[in-house]
Amino acid sequence: MRLSSKIYWDLLATLAGILYTLAFAPFDYPYLALIALALLFASWQNATPLQALYRGYLFGLTAFGLGVSWVYVSIHDFGGADVLSSGLLTVVFVAFWAMFPALAAYLSAKISLINPRFSTLVIVPIVWVLIEYLRGYLILNGFPWLQVAYSQLETPLAGYIPVLGVYGAGFLLALSATLLLSIVQIKKHRGFIIALLLSVWLTGAGLKTINWTTAIGEPIRVSLIQGNVSQDQKWRPENLLITLNFYKTMTEAHWDSKVIVWPETAIPAYLSEVQDWFIVPLSQAAQEHGSDLIVSLPLRGEGVHERYNAVMTLGKDIATYRKTHLLPFGEYLPWQPVSGFILDSLGLVLGDFTPGAIDQALLKAGDYAFITSICYEDVFGSATVKNLTEAAYLVNVTNDGWFGYSIEPQQHLQMARMRALETGRYLLRATNTGVTAIVAPDGQVIKQAPPFLATVLTGEIMPMAGITPYARIGDGMVVVLLALWLCVLIYHRFALKK
C-alpha cells in the first residue's frame, strides 16, 4: 500500500478516532489525544475539501461511535425502546455529531490552510477549537463531550486550564499536534519548532505549580449520599416512602457533618407534595443539629406547564436553585414538532421542564455560598464561573443512573473535575449511582465512592477565595481572540497572493 493512497489516509483517520477516544476516561491514555490529532491532521494534508471532509467524518464516526456508545444504554435499557429503535437513534446521534470534525476538515482544506510552513501552523488548531466551541456551546444547547482538553487533566497542559479554560488548553494541544507533525515532515526550522513545542508543555508544567486561590476559614465536614436507587423503580409511587426514609435515615447518621448533599431528584416528588410532612420537619431537624442539607427535587411553577428541576437548601438557610441549562431530548424537546412526533412514534416519554432564571442568587450551606449545577450543567465552564467571587465551593448533583455500567459516568466525572480546576474551588459531586466524589481545587479526586452502592462519602473541604485568570476572561474572550487571530491569518495569506 503506497503512502499516498487514498484508502491509507482514510484508514489513518479512522484509527485516529479510536486513539482519540482512548485518551478520555475511563481509558485515560491522555497522550493518545496528541497522536490522534497529529494523524488526523496529516490525513487532511494535500486532500481536496471533499476528501478532507470524508476523513473528518470517518474520524467523528469512530470517536463518537465509541465515546458516546452509552446513548444506546440510556435509550434501550432505561428509556424502554426496542433494540432496533435504540440502535437507529444512537446511529443518528453519532452521525450528527460526527459532522463537526468533518466541518473542521472541510474548512481547513477549502481555504488551503494546511501546509508545512511555520507561519500557518496555528490555523488548523484554531479551526479545530472554533468548531469545538460551535458543537460544545451553540448547537442544541451544547454538547461538549469528547472535547480534547478534557483528556489532559493529568498532563502538563492542565496548567493552562485555570488560565485559558477548556478552549485555550484545547488549542494548545491541537497546536502541539501540528508542531509534532511538522517536526516529522520537514527539516526547515525544525529546531525552532521543537523548542516551541517544548516551551508549550514546560510552561504548562510550571503553571500547574501555581495556586490561584486561597483557603479561608475552617475546614467544612461534608457528607455526600449516594442512594443507588434503581432508575426503573425511582418514580414508582409505592416506593416514595421507602426512598425518603432511606435518605432521611442516612442523613440522621451524619448530623456531625456541616453540609450533607443528596443527588439529583433524590426526592422523587414535587415540592408541593412533600413540603409539609417531610421537607419542613427535615429542615427543622437539620437546623437543630447545626447542619445544612442540599437536596434535589422537581418544582411546579405558577403556569400549568411550568416545571423545574431544582436544588433546595434546608436548615439555617432555605432557598432554591432552578436548573437553567436543560438537557435537549431529556428535559426539553428541540426541533418541535418533528422531535416530539418521532419520540411519540417510538413510545419514548421524556421530560418537559422549564429553564430557571439566569440571574438566580447563590445558595448557601455551611455558612458559605456555593455555585450549584444540576446534572450536565457541570460540563459548561462559562456557567460555573458566574458569580464565582461570591462562592466558596461548588456543588453538583447528578443522576447518572440512566447510563448503567457504561463509560458515561467516568467521562462525566472527568468533565466535572475540570470545573474545580478552572475555578480553584473544591467540588462536591453527589450522584445517585456514581460517580460520587470530592474533588480538590487542582482537579484531583480526594475521595470517591464505589459505583452502584448505597453509601455515604464523608470528608472535609476548605472554603476558597480568589479568582483564577480563566474566571475573569471566560470562554468567550478566548474564542473571540482565536477567531480574530484566524481572520488576520486568512487575510494575510490571501493578501500575499495579490
Closest C-alpha among 130, 194, 207, 206 to residue 164: 207
Helices (H), 289-380: 338-346
Here the cell at position 102 is: 468533518
Catalytic member of 208, 258, 323, 364: 323
Residue type, 279: I
Residues contacting residue 3 through CB under 8 Å, at least 6 positions apart: none
Q: Is 375 a catalytic residue?
A: yes
Count the neighbouring beta carbons within 10 Å of the beta carbon of residue 200.
Answer: 17
Count the neighbouring beta carbons within 10 Å of the beta carbon of residue 2.
Answer: 7
Here the cell at position 381 is: 465552564
Q: To the nearest 10°, the Cα dihedral for 252, 254, 259, 262? A: -60
Count the neighbouring beta carbons within 10 Å of the beta carbon of residue 204.
Answer: 22
Using DSSP, state whether 380 is helix, strand or coil: coil
Interhelix angle 99-110/49-67, rounded to 10 degrees, is: 160
Q: What angle do CA 320, 383, 204 make, to 5 degrees?
A: 135
Count the neighbouring beta carbons within 10 Å of the beta carbon of residue 473.
Answer: 17
Q: Which of left, alpha, beta for 81 (phi over 0: left; psi -120 to 50: alpha)?
A: beta
Is the separation of the CB atoms in 235 and 80 below 8 Å? no
Q: Is 487 a catalytic residue?
A: no
Outline where DSSP puts E strands in 315-442: 319-322, 363-365, 368-374, 393-398, 427-431, 437-439
Closest C-alpha among 137, 180, 162 to residue 36: 180
Outline where DSSP puts E strands in 150-190: none
Is the separation of the CB atoms in 298 and 271 below 8 Å? yes
Catalytic member of 264, 377, 408, 422: 264
Is the separation of the CB atoms in 421 and 161 below 8 Å? yes
Q: Is 323 a catalytic residue?
A: yes
Is the separation of the CB atoms in 223 and 366 below 8 Å? no
Catalytic member of 132, 208, 331, 375: 375
d(CA 486, CA 111): 12
Q: So which residues are the catalytic ones?
A: 264, 323, 375
